[in-house]
Amino acid sequence: KEKPQQGMVLAAGPGERDQDGKRIALDVKVGDKVLFAKYAGTELKLDGKKLLILRETDLLGIIE
């Protein structure tokens, strides 16, 4: 298996909606250190920085 990758949350959306249309709050917040699988998410470059867009379900854990 590949070793998990570590990163920092730079931005977070408002969360998903449930079947009734109510928001489900995210467990992560800006500034959290997180672990994710090596090939998870979508990679992009913005202003010369390599960024990764992930769904919260792709995260393996939050480092405290």
Q: Which pLDDT belongs to residue 3?
A: 86
Q: Encoding tokens for residue 20? A: 């009734």
CB environment 9-48: b (16+ within 10 A), e (fewer):
beeeeeeeeeeeeeeeeeeeeeebebebeeebbeeeeeee
Q: Which pLDDT belongs to residue 20?
A: 94
Q: Which pLDDT belongs to residue 1?
A: 65
pTM of the prediction? 0.81
Q: How do the pLDDT tens digits run along the chain, 64 residues long? A: 678 899 999 999 999 999 999 999 999 999 999 999 988 999 999 999 999 999 999 999 999 8
- φ/ψ (deg, to 5) at 52: -130, 130
| Helix, strand, or coil (residue 14) | coil
Could you give the CA distance from residue 53 to residue 41 in angstroms, rounded to a whole number?
A: 5
